């Protein structure tokens, strides 16, 4: 049985970081313009994700177009 795909509308692509106050665990969510989602938890992982992503540029579509 194939799992149906779900299309969510109304969410804008971008990087959202929260939990930056003292004593809180930072969490970052990145929604790519192609729909790819990544979540990072903890200061080192959030810093790596924030350094790696480029909001407005989709590395997934660019990688696919080069391979084709």
Burial zone of 9 (CB within 10 Å; 0-12 exposed, 13-18 middle, 19+ buried) = exposed
Task: Examine residue 45 and state whether it is found in any structural domain, yes or no.
Answer: yes
Q: Convert the pLDDT of each residue in 24-40 to its tens digit.
A: 999 999 998 888 899 99
Residues of the chain with pLDDT under 50: 66-68
Total domain count for the chain? 1
pTM for this entry: 0.70
Residue 37's domain spans which residues? 14-67
Q: Is 1:42 a contact under the CB 8 Å cutoff?
A: no
Task: Examine residue 7 and state whether it is found in any structural domain, yes or no.
Answer: no
State the pLDDT at residue 17.
94
State the pLDDT at residue 52.
92
Collapsed DSSP state (helix, strand, coil) of residue 57: coil
């Amino acid at each position: 049985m194939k799992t149906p795909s779900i299309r969510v509308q109304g969410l804008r692509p971008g990087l959202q970081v929260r939990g930056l106050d003292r004593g809180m665990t930072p969490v970052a969510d990145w929604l790519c313009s192609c729909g790819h989602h990544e979540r990072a938890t903890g200061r080192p992982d959030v810093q790596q994700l924030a350094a790696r992503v480029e909001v407005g540029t989709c590395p997934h579509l660019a990688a696919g177009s080069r391979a084709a």
